[in-house]
Amino acid sequence: MANKVQCELCPNECVLENNQRSRCRARMNKDGVLFSLVYGKPCAVHVDPIEKKPFYHFLPSTTAFSLATAGCVLSCKFCQNWQISQAGPEDTDTYDLPPDSVVRQAIFYKCRSISYTYTEPTVFYEYMYDTALIARKYTIKNTMHSCGYMKEKPLRTLSKYMDAANIDLKAFTEDFYGKICGGSLKPVLNSLVVLKEEGVWLEITNLVIPTLNDDMKNIKEMCRWILKNLGPDVPVHFSRFYPSYKLTNLPPTPLETLTEARKAAMDAGLKFVYIGNIRHEGESTFCPKCRKMLIERVGYFVKLNNISNGKCRFCGTSIAGVWS
Amino acid sequence: MGSAASAALPLQEYGVNMITNLNKNKKSLSSLDSAQVVAESGILTRREFLGFFLLGGMVSLFAKKVNAEQKPKEAMFWKRLD
């Protein structure tokens, strides 16, 4: 009983005996004190186009200094980065990169932002927080791609330094979150609302997996919830699933399913709905008023940009986002 | 216009006196002291090499020890359950 601690970072709320690891593998109770095992030790560091995160309404055609450490608070059976997300820090090759070095590297590579991504940034919260704080001093933006599985207090604390967040809304049923991800939906929805309240630029990604979360009824329900609670300007990305990790028995998502989901979302009233992980017109941004193409994208690359001072160059409609 | 006899030898133009150097090296090979040759040539002796090797090893081990003893970062959100 002595030296028992409870982590209050994510809804898992791990209770740890002495020398026991958290479920995310990145935290450990040492003699009654909870320590982060991944601080300053990223296992993945890259310079990526911001479109790869994906952020489509946040500093388009700029680069993001992207990093991740080992570990994740969930255990999704379809994880695309399971080699590092479902591993402990000792199972991966890590760099020694303290927060100030991350910012220095971002400046060196002329990145406009630092992105906490690939695995789940919640597991390296302290590292992300300290880095974001320094980055803000040097006018470098902070972005994260997260599953949103974080408790409210740490999320609000982090939001002061976070400029944009792309949250994976993996499905719209508790059943899917419980059986496929080992988590629950409610905390994710709460995180989306908190981020919106805190003024963090928000985009949502929904990976559409054949037979598991491609039911149009649920997708429509999800879109209605987004519209009601977050507003029509939040970009939603329907991403194509490719067989991975424990779901290699399923086929890639058919294009028809993605286009149907996009149409359902736009019919529901969402203004910016995208299709990802596949070359399609749905990768580009269109003006919600005059319907002309504003940003033409091919993969992660921007071919043309018709947004000037945050407005459509053709009809002058304001386009929600962070453009400069 | 200078004649061929008065022209400087190519190496002399660079300040190398070939005759002097030739005279300096006139000693027979058997009279050379190998230790002296090594010392004069600037090549590391076996002892020096070993010294540097051990020093490098010790510095490396020390750096690893310092790295390993870096205090892990305390988490920001947690509580004791006593």
ipTM above threshold 0.90 = yes
**pLDDT for the residue B2:** 43
- pLDDT tens profile A56-80: 999 999 999 999 999 999 999 999 9
What ranges do the domains of chain A cover?
Answer: 37-312
Name the fold adopted by A37-312. Answer: TIM Barrel (3.20.20)
Query: CA–CA separation, B82 vs B41, rounded Å?
Result: 72
| pLDDT beyond 70 at B6 | no
- pLDDT tens profile B15-62: 655 555 555 555 566 666 777 776 677 777 888 899 999 999 999 998
Residue in B67, B72, B77 nearest the CB of A154: B77
The angle subtended at Cα A149 by Cα A164 and Cα A204, nearest 5°, is: 45
Question: Which of the residue ranges A119-128, A248-257, A286-295, B69-78 would you say has the lowest mean pLDDT?
Answer: B69-78
Residue in B73, B76, B81 nearest the CB of A5: B81
Residue in B67, B75, B82 nearest the CB of A34: B75
Please state the pTM of the whole predicted model: 0.84
Note whether A110 and A218 are within 8 A (CB): no
- Chain A residues touching B68 at Cβ < 8 A: none
**pLDDT for the residue B64:** 77
**pLDDT for the residue B44:** 79
Both structure tokens of A254: 């058919």
Query: CA–CA separation, A36 vs A5, rounded Å?
Result: 13
**pLDDT for the residue B1:** 42
| pLDDT beyond 50 at A187 | yes
Count interface pairs A-B at CB distance under 8 A: 59
Q: How many CA atoms lie within 13 A of A263 on its CB side?
A: 7
Query: CA–CA separation, A72 vs A86, rounded Å?
Result: 6
Burial of residue B60 (CB within 10 Å: 0-12, 13-18, 19+) is exposed
Q: How many CA atoms lie within 13 A of B37 on its CB side?
A: 8
**pLDDT for the residue B24:** 57
**pLDDT for the residue B13:** 63
| A35/B74 CB distance under 8 A | yes
Cβ neighbours of residue A150 closer than 8 Å, sequence gap 6 or more: A9, A10, A11, A73, A122, A125, A158, A187, A191
Note whether A2 and B82 are within 8 A (CB): yes
Question: Which of the residue ranges A2-11, A176-185, B32-41 would you say has the lowest mean pLDDT?
Answer: B32-41
Query: CA–CA separation, A17 vs A28, rounded Å?
Result: 9
